[in-house]
Structure 1
Amino acid sequence: MSRVLHVPFTGADREFDDIGQEMMAAIEKVFRSGQVMNGESVPRLEQSLAELSGRRHARVVNSGTDAVYFALVAAGIGPGDEVLLGDVSFVATLHAIVRTGATPVFVDVTDEGTIDLDLAEEAVGPRSKALVVVQLYGRMAAPDPVEKFARAHGLALVEDAAQSLGAEVNGRRSGTLGLASCHSFDAMKVIPAPGTGGVVLTDDPAVAESVEQLRHWGFADAEKRHVVRLGHNSQMSSLTAAVLAVKLAQEERWLKQRRATASTYSAGFGDLGCGLPEHGSLRENIFHKYVLRTPKRDELAAALRASGVETLVHYPYALHTLPFLERHPHRVVGDGRAKKHAAEVISLPIHPYLTDEEIAHVVTSTREALLAG
C-alpha cells in the first residue's frame, strides 16, 4: 500500500527545528533579566516594527483584534457613529467595530474580496465617521484610491493590515495608510507569535498616547499613578516580544520561500481558471494565504483531505450574515459578491517549511481533483 503524504497547513514544529535555539536563547535572556513584562524587548520590537513600516510610532498589544479596536477608539469612534468595512474579513475586524458601540456598515466587495469603493459611495451617510480597509490574504490594496475616498468623506481611515506585514504597492508599505494601521502576530500569520499579539502603527502622537493608555488600564503615566480613562490589560509580554524579534529577522527569507511556493502553485494551476492570486513585485503579495476560488470548493477540500493535504477556508461567511448581528444595528450595501466569495474560497498550505515533495503533491492532488468532474 502506497504511503499517503501528509502536508500540514502550518509549520510551527519545523520552524522550531530551524530557529528554535535562537528563540530559546531570547527567552532565557528575558527570564534572566527578571522582566517578563515591560522588559526591554518590548520597546525594541516596537522600534523595529515602526522602522519596517515607516511609521513614527508603534505600540504592541495583546492581539490584532485589540489593535483595531484601540485604533478606532483613538480615532474617537463610539456609539452613534457608523464605520464602513468590506463584507469579507476575519470576524475580528467586525468584533473591534462592535466593541466600540459603533454601527458597522457592510459594503460588498470586488472580485478580489476587498471593499468596493464605488458601492462605498452609496454607503456614506451623515453618521459615517470611519473606514476600516482590510488588506486581504497578504495582498495590499492600492493606497491612493482608499485614502482619497476617506479624505473626500471626512472618514478616519484605519488599516486592518493583520494579514499583510511587509507587503508593498508602488513604494508604499502596508502599515502606512491613514490615521492608524494594525498588524497581527497570531499563530497563522507570516510572523507568528508564540500565542498571539498585535501592534498599532501611527504617525500621530495623540493616537500613540491613546493606545498606550488603553493597553495599560487607562494609566496616563509610566508609574501607574493616574488613571484617566477606562482602559484594558492588553500588554505584550517581554517573552513574546523577544521571540517575535527573532522571527522578524527571518522575514525576508521566509517571504522569498513563500513566494517560490506560490509561483509553483500558480504555474501548476494556471490553466484551470480557479481565481489565482496575482503576482507582481516581490512584496506586492506576501502570500499570508494562497487562496483558490472554485464552485467545487467542498469537493476539492474533501479530495485534498483524502490525499493528506490540509486546507482551510478563509472565510466561510459574508460578515453581515453572522447571527449575533441580529442583536446589533448594522447596514448592508450590496449583497452578492461577498456571499459568492465565501462559497468558493479555499486556502492551500503555504509556509516557509514546505518541502519540494509536499508542494508537488499539493499541485498534483489539486489538479486531479479539479479535473475530475
Structure 2
Amino acid sequence: MLTTTSIPFLDVRGITDLVREDLDLCWERVLADGRFIGGPEVETFEARFAEYCGTEHCVGVANGTDALELILAALDIGPGDEVIVPANTFVATVEAVCAVGARPRFVDVRADTLEVDPDAVAAAIGPRTAAVMAVHLFGQMVDLDRLVPLVRRHGIALVEDAAQAHGARFGGRRAGSVGVAAAFSFYPGKNLGALGDGGAVVSDDAALVTRIRQLANHGRANQGHHLHELRGRNSRLDTLQAALLTAKLRRLDEDNARRRSLMQRYRERLPVGCVSVAQHPRAESVHHLAVVQVPDRAAATAALDAAGIGWGLHYPVPCHRQPAFAEFAEDRLPVTENAAERILSLPMSPTLTVAQVDRVSDVLSRAAGP
C-alpha cells in the first residue's frame, strides 16, 4: 500500500517532471517510427553512454542484474570458479555469480565507507578466484588505489558493479572505466533511471563486448540472423527506454551536483550521533543514497514516520545472512553485521530542497534527545 509523505524518500515523479517535455518527444518519435526493439535510439544511447563513462563500447541490456551475469558469462566464469563479493550489497550482485555456476566468496567492508575492504579481498584470494566484484555502493566508487594493483598482481578480473554510481569518479576516472567491464542498472530509482527496467555493460574490450552482445541476443552470429553460435538469452534494452535515457543523460551531471550539495548540507545539520558514510578523499560521489548510521534506528524511524518523512534501509540483512545464500556463509563479517543494525537511508533526490534536508535533520536531532 502506498502512503503519501510530506518528504518522499525518492521523488521519482518530480525527477521525471524535470525532463517531461523531452520524454514526451521521445515517446512521439518512437511511436511514429514503430521500431520498438533496437534501432537508432539504442545505438545513440550506447554511443553517448560509452562516451560519458570514458569507455569505448556500451551494450544496452534488459536490466542491471543481466548486465552482471552477462559479463561473468562472457569471461567464461562458471563452475569451479570463485568470485569475491562484498557482503554489503544488493542481492543482485550475488545472484549473478550464482547464475553462472560460480561460487560467491563473501568478504567484509570498511567501517568508514561500508564498501569492500581491500585487505579482506587480499585475504580471500585463492587458486579458484576468477574475479572481484567492485561494488560502487551508495554512489561512491571503491578504493581503486588499493584494489586495482591487487587484482593485477594476481591476474584476476575486476568487474565493476556500478548500478548505484552513474557519473561517480575516483581519481578523475568515471565509474565503468576501470575494470574489465562494468554493469549499470537503469531501474527508475537510479541516478540515471528509465521508466521501467533497463541496464548496460560498458568496456574497452571490443571482443568481450561483441560476445556480450551475442549472448544478450539469443547467441546470434554477427553474420546471420538465423545462425546461433552461442547459447544465449533475450536481454535487450528496448527502444523507448533508450530514447528516454538519452534525454535524461543530458542533465545527469547537473543532478549529481545537486545531490552532492544536499549531502553536504546533511553533514552540516545532522546530529552528532547520526554519522554519514565517509567519502574517500580521491572519490567524487554522486550520492545515489544518503546513508547514515544511527545508535537507535527504531527511535529514528519512528520520528521520521511521525513527521511524514520517507526513509529506507540499504541493507538490513547482509547477503551472507540471506537464506538463499546460506551455503556460502563461511565466516562472520563483523563490520557488515554491525552496520546492518545501524544503517538508515534518508531522503535524497535532485528535487529535494535545502529546507527539507533541514527538516529531516531537525527531526533526527529531536529523536536523538539532549
CA distance in 2, matches of 1:356, 1:140: 25
User: Once the 2 structures are TM-superposed, how far is the Cα of residue 283 of structure 1 from its aligned partner?
Assistant: 7.0
User: Once the 2 structures are TM-superposed, how far is the Cα of residue 275 of structure 1 from its aligned partner?
Assistant: 2.3
User: Once the 2 structures are TM-superposed, how far is the Cα of residue 223 of structure 1 from its aligned partner?
Assistant: 4.6
Please list, as runs of the form range in 1=range in 2, the aligned pairs for 1:280-299 lying within 5 A after superposition: 284-299=284-299
Match of 1:40 in 2: 40
8 Å Cα contact 1:59-1:200 kept in structure 2: yes
CA distance in 2, matches of 1:120, 1:360: 39
SS of the residue corresponding to residue 176 of structure 1 reads coil
User: Once the 2 structures are TM-superposed, how far is the Cα of residue 286 of structure 1 from its aligned partner?
Assistant: 0.6
User: Once the 2 structures are TM-superposed, how far is the Cα of residue 281 of structure 1 from its aligned partner?
Assistant: 8.0
Percent identity between the aligned chains? 34
Match of 2:27 in 1: 27
User: Once the 2 structures are TM-superposed, how far is the Cα of residue 100 of structure 1 from its aligned partner?
Assistant: 0.6
8 Å Cα contact 1:119-1:333 kept in structure 2: no
User: Once the 2 structures are TM-superposed, how far is the Cα of residue 298 of structure 1 from its aligned partner?
Assistant: 2.2
User: Once the 2 structures are TM-superposed, how far is the Cα of residue 57 of structure 1 from its aligned partner?
Assistant: 0.8
Q: 5+ unaligned residues in a row in structure 1: which ranges?
A: none
SS of the residue corresponding to residue 60 of structure 1 reads strand
CA distance in 2, matches of 1:89, 1:305: 25
Match of 1:169 in 2: 170
1:272 corresponds to 2:279: no
8 Å Cα contact 1:5-1:358 kept in structure 2: no
Q: Count residues in correspondence.
A: 366
CA distance in 1, matches of 2:180, 2:5: 47
Please list, as runs of the form range in 1=range in 2, the aligned pairs for 1:166-315 lying within 5 A after superposition: 166-221=167-222, 223-269=224-270, 271-278=271-278, 284-315=284-315
Q: 5+ unaligned residues in a row in structure 2: which ranges?
A: none
User: Once the 2 structures are TM-superposed, how far is the Cα of residue 282 of structure 1 from its aligned partner?
Assistant: 11
| Distance 1:308-1:15 versus aligned 2 partners, 3 A rule | same
TM-score by length of 2: 0.94
Bigger Cα displacement from structure 2, 48-57 vs 362-371: 362-371
CA distance in 1, matches of 2:152, 2:137: 22
| Distance 1:22-1:332 versus aligned 2 partners, 3 A rule | same
| Amino acid across the alignment from 2:336 | A
Pick from 357, 363, 366: which aligns with 1:365? 363
Match of 1:337 in 2: 335
Match of 1:8 in 2: 8
Describe the superposition over 1:75-101 as per-residue Cα deviations: whole angstroms up to 9, x where unpaired.
Answer: 110011111111110011011111011
Match of 1:117 in 2: 118
SS of the residue corresponding to residue 346 of structure 1 reads strand
8 Å Cα contact 1:105-1:333 kept in structure 2: no
Q: CA RMSD in A?
A: 1.8
Bigger Cα displacement from structure 2, 274-283 vs 85-94: 274-283
TM-score by length of 1: 0.94
Describe the superposition over 1:264-321 as per-residue Cα deviations: whole angstroms up to 9, x where unpaired.
Answer: 111101x514322345789701100000111312221121011100000001112111
> After the TM superposition, which segments of 4 or more aligned residues of structure 1 sit over 4 Å from their partners?
279-283
8 Å Cα contact 1:60-1:198 kept in structure 2: yes
CA distance in 2, matches of 1:300, 1:351: 20
CA distance in 2, matches of 1:222, 1:49: 26
